[in-house]
Amino acid sequence: MTELVPARERTPLELALLRLREVVGRARLPLPLPGAVEQQAAADQVGAQLDDYVLPRLAAIDAPMLTVVGGSTGAGKSTLVNSLVGRRVTEPGVIRPTTRAPVLVHHPDDARWFADDRVLPGLARATGAAAGARELRLVPLDALPPGLAVLDAPDVDSVVAENRRLAAQLLEAADLWLFVTSAARYADAVPWDFLLAAAARSAAVAVVLDRVPPRAMRDVPPHLGQMMSERGLAGSPLFAVPETAVDADGLLPDAAVAPIRGWLGALASDRSRRAAVVQQTLDGAVAALVDRAPALAQAADEQAEAVDQLRAEADRSYAEAVRTVGVQTEDGTLLRGEVLARWHDFVGTGEFFRALEQRVGWLRDRVVAAFKGEPPGAKDLKVAVESGLESLLRQEADAAAERAEASWQSTAAGRDLLGRTSADLSHSSPALADRAAEVIRDWQGAVLALVADEGMTKRSRARFLAFGVNGVGVALMIVVFAHTGGLVGAEVGVAGGTALLAQRVLEAVFGDQAVRRLAVTAKAELDARVEALMAEELLRYHALLDELALDPGLGAAVREAAAAVDTARHALPTATSGDALRTPEKTPALTAGPSGPPLVALEGGSDDGLGDVVDAELVEPDPPYETRELR
């Protein structure tokens, strides 16, 4: 953000607002939750309001009062601005939209306030006759009093979307809104949306009812005044300008705009009144920012909660896969099929199982005597174990992916995230097969290293060497697949018998205590590797969530920052003209009478509206009208 106040110490309010700006700038609401789009727009608007108006105005509270002239298409804004300054500075026309680039007119002595990017930093400055849509054309003019700047904005209902956005941005950067509408369109809904927004944030507003037919002068302005009173704008003055001819330069007769020019000049020349107008709008803007914070914070919390829920669902799916693999690698499930067949080959024949209970000691001695060097079948058994484990890992990884994807598909946020990737997350990743095989080989290598280290420290080293590292290692794998599940006898079936024989073989080499310790260690090694493999698969889901770049503490930060702004705002002392901000009292120029806003109207002229215009006079509103609905 541009440094705003380098030459002086910032006030507590400025510091609090800068903190709010930093926090709001982090707002990201990408998930399609209810209200998310609206609150993201609100966050952007809060940031723009702070950048375009609140912070610059606080940094230069004595800067000229910026009066933005805005309104509907064809309301006569440009003609009014030209007539107020007595010179053609902006081009009116019949082709819509007419005002494409904003024009800011100021006294030459006030040029320093607008030449840099203090006000409306997103707009480049231009001084020539032509300016682009995102340029602010500066026009210094002696006809405008010092302390007052007038900005002609694009139409609020322009057919060009960029013009509408720019008009809204400029109006929110105004100290004073001079809102122009016409007798034919004063009840249109779009202008009233802006006026109601101004009323909601206590902005200083004056309304110009332009192009009023002389015959309607006593009917239409009072009706508009009543509508203003009913909608919170009773304190806003209403100027009525009759429909009349313009001169050769396209300017209205001086008498038609003299009341408006005089009112603006009085505000500009009276420092205290000008300060009151500025402070009213500024305080209303700050209060509006604070009021918008709870909804934004709630939206941020909902986004974080949705992400947490999606993450938890994916985590649970893969945690279940880890749990299932953990169970099936210790309950004997793997001791079947190819693994069982290869174990039979490894120990010799099926006689091992038929005679296990009666002859286990004899068999143990026979095995010890027979297995010299590399035992036959050890390699095939190792491959069978690897194949069985790999099949189990792939099966459970696919099941986890299917569960996680289905749970995400059940919510709008999850579907949105799944739509952001071209990968098929309902199945395991293409790399899983290779990674699973690698994980199993690594575990088998770790088991072989484990038994090798144990074998080198035992007095039964000769017996260990007789079985060989591979033979002892695959026997330990068999024990892992059933021993830690509590299967310790032939009476529990084939799996138990298989594990018991493997256990007896290992006990002959290491002893029963060492076998239990080795089995637990090998199982823990396997579980850790399986968990790491599933975590890699889970990262595909986490990556989608991480790409959102959500700040989980944003909601709390918004609330804290807004509370600090509100505290600083209310802690300010009673203002003088040099104070940055106070809760203003209405200045006389902006005080309404009991029956509605002060109304300055012009009377006279012929029935066709093209006659001479005489002096203005105050017109009291007639009795209440039946207010028609906004179109």
Beta bridge partner(s), residue 602? 616
State yes or no: pLDDT of 583 exceeds 70: no
Cα torsion for 459, 461, 463, 467, to the nearest 10°? 150
Task: Give the pLDDT score at 175.
Answer: 94
Task: Give the pLDDT score at 5.
Answer: 42
Task: Report the alpha-carbon angle 381-387-346, nearest 5.
Answer: 10
State yes or no: pLDDT of 554 exceeds 60: yes
CA distances from 178 to 181, 495, 531 (A): 10, 89, 67
**Which one-letter amino acid corresponds to residue 41?**
A
Task: Check residue 251 and report its DSSP letter.
Answer: P
pLDDT band of 127, cuts 50, 70, 90? confident
> What is the three-class DSSP state of 300?
helix
In the chain, the N- to C-terminal Cα span, in Å, equals 41
Q: Which of 177-186, 325-334, 411-420, 579-588 has the lowest mean pLDDT?
A: 579-588
pLDDT band of 145, cuts 50, 70, 90? very high
Nearest to 320 by CA among 520, 541, 534: 534
Determine the average pLDDT of the residues in 499-523.
77
Question: Rounded distance, CA 225 to CA 237, Å?
Answer: 9
Contact call for residues 123 and 154 (beta carbons, < 8 A):
no
State yes or no: pLDDT of 63 exceeds 60: yes
Contact call for residues 226 and 627 (beta carbons, < 8 A):
yes
- Of 296 and 368, the structure prediction assigns the larger pLDDT to 296
Contact call for residues 100 and 163 (beta carbons, < 8 A):
yes
pLDDT single digits (tens) 435-467:
999 998 998 888 888 877 776 555 555 555 555
Question: Rounded distance, CA 189 to CA 369, Å?
Answer: 100
pLDDT band of 336, cuts 50, 70, 90? low
pLDDT band of 50, cuts 50, 70, 90? very high
Question: Rounded distance, CA 95 to CA 75, Å?
Answer: 13
Task: Give the pLDDT score at 408.
Answer: 97
- Of 323 and 620, the structure prediction assigns the larger pLDDT to 323
Contact call for residues 260 and 99 (beta carbons, < 8 A):
no
Q: How many residues does the chain have?
A: 631
- Of 610 and 485, the structure prediction assigns the larger pLDDT to 485
* Helix residue spans in 377-482 (DSSP H): 378-409, 412-418, 432-455, 461-480
Take residue 86 and report the two structure tokens written for it. 């007595």
Maximum CA pair distance of the chain?
Answer: 131
Task: Give the pLDDT score at 347.
Answer: 62
pLDDT single digits (tens) 344-391:
666 654 443 333 334 444 444 444 444 444 555 666 667 777 788 888
**In the chain, where the domains are located:** 1-63+274-305+553-592, 64-269+596-623, 329-550
State yes or no: pLDDT of 548 exceeds 90: yes
Question: Rounded distance, CA 412 to CA 418, Å?
Answer: 10
Burial class (CB in 10 A: 0-12, 13-18, 19+), 543: exposed
Task: Give the pLDDT score at 567.
Answer: 95
State yes or no: pLDDT of 73 exceeds 90: no
Nearest to 243 by CA among 188, 184, 177: 184
Task: Give the pLDDT score at 343.
Answer: 63
Range picked from 120-129, 207-216, 290-299, 573-582 for highest mean pLDDT = 290-299
Q: What percent of the chain has pLDDT over 70?
A: 73
State yes or no: pLDDT of 4 exceeds 90: no
Task: Give the pLDDT score at 225.
Answer: 92
Question: Rounded distance, CA 61 to CA 44, Å?
Answer: 24
65-71 sheet: strands from edge to edge: 124-126, 135-140, 103-106, 148-152, 65-71, 176-182, 204-212, 238-242, 599-602, 616-618
Gyration radius from the chain CA atoms: 41
Fold exhibited by the domain 64-269+596-623: Rossmann fold (3.40.50)
Range picked from 311-325, 558-572, 587-601 for highest mean pLDDT = 311-325
pLDDT band of 602, cuts 50, 70, 90? very low
Q: What is the pTM of this model?
A: 0.74
CA distances from 266 to 146, 252, 259, 590 (A): 11, 21, 10, 12
Question: Rounded distance, CA 597 to CA 220, Å?
Answer: 14
